Amino acid sequence: MPRPSIQRSAFTLVELLVVIAIIGVLIALLLPAVQQAREAARRLQCTNNQKQIGLAVHNYHDTFLKLPINGIPQSSSSSLYRGPSWLARLLPFIEQGNGYDQLVYEGDFTMQDGSYPAAHILNELRVPIYNCPSSPLPQTETQNNGPSGDEVELQVTNYVGITGSYWRGGTIGNTGDESTAPYDENYAGRTVYNGMISTLTDQSDAIGLQAAIDGTSNTMMLSEQSDYFYDASGNKVDRRSA
């Protein structure tokens, strides 16, 4: 008795190519949406970082009745900019007290005029909320530890304190009249120190929140520096400092 033939269905080459094309179109449609969702999540993290730093500043103020300041002179250096930054002072208020306790609060923090005795701590210290994950800027930079010549890998933050209201360059540093001062890119980032996070020669001169006469909700205290600066020639420059 003859056996009945069995018809087997299969993809033809054309059908296979159609399926592959459909999958490719779906991927092309979905991939940008996934990338946008990831970037939105990263931007949300950047915003949350600023919120956490802002809360840390308020907690610092509650403790010391002053706002954190930048760069007071240390015992082995009289240079104005050589002390710890305001972000270093905030470490105990962002659950980084261990790192704060290991730092040595003397010597040249910038390692320009002299070696910093706790450079190995800075080489290892990383504070996640000090960097914006969506920023294209590098999160670290290599620097020599003064005369010792040892290289140290330092974290570079994306968050900056508002230290003043206008450029310090040309005549502006002497007169305080921003309308008379030509822009000088060599002074970018340096200001007359009338902001909430100031560079002072004496910590006792630090201001409190009462100095925000327009109200804290109407006064800028910190900002995000998450992209490159372009100079007059169109060159891309990273103006941050470690």
Encode pLDDT of 167-219 as tens digits: 544 444 434 444 444 444 444 444 566 778 876 666 677 888 888 888 888 88
Helices H / strands E in the chain, number of each:
5, 6
Strand partners, 223: 160
Helical spans, DSSP H, in the chain: 13-64, 86-89, 97-102, 119-124, 172-175
CB 206, CB 66: distance < 8 Å: yes
Helix (H) or strand (E) holding 153: strand 151-155
| pLDDT reading at 81 higher than 80 | no
Pairing of β 229-230 and β 151-155:
unpaired
DSSP state string for 177-218: -GGGPPP-GGGTT-B-S-SSS-B-S-GGG---GGG-TT-GGG
Instruction: Count Cα neighbours of 103 within 13 Å in the Cβ-side half-sphere.
Output: 22
Q: Which residue has the tokens 């970037």?
A: 39
Encode pLDDT of 105-142 as tens digits: 666 666 666 666 777 777 788 999 999 999 999 998 88
- How far apart are the C-alpha atoms of 170 and 188, rounded to whole Å? 12
CB 159, CB 49: distance < 8 Å: yes
Phi and psi for 167 in degrees, rounded to 5?
Answer: -65, 145
Pairing of β 222-224 and β 159-161:
antiparallel
Residue 172: predicted pLDDT: 41
Task: Supply the DSSP symbol for 167.
Answer: B
Amino acid at 7: Q
How many C-beta atoms surround the C-beta of residue 201 within 10 A? Answer: 14
pTM score above 0.75: no
Q: Which two tokens stand for residue 158?
A: 């994306």
Residue 7: predicted pLDDT: 58
Encode pLDDT of 186-200 as tens digits: 444 445 667 788 766
Residue 141: predicted pLDDT: 83
CB 169, CB 187: distance < 8 Å: yes
Q: What are the boundaries of each domain within the chain? A: 15-158
| pLDDT reading at 62 higher than 90 | yes
How many C-beta atoms surround the C-beta of residue 98 within 10 A? Answer: 10
- How far apart are the C-alpha atoms of 105 and 203, rounded to whole Å? 14
Phi and psi for 141 in degrees, rounded to 5?
Answer: -145, 150
Encode pLDDT of 18-56 as tens digits: 888 888 888 888 888 888 888 888 889 999 999 999 999
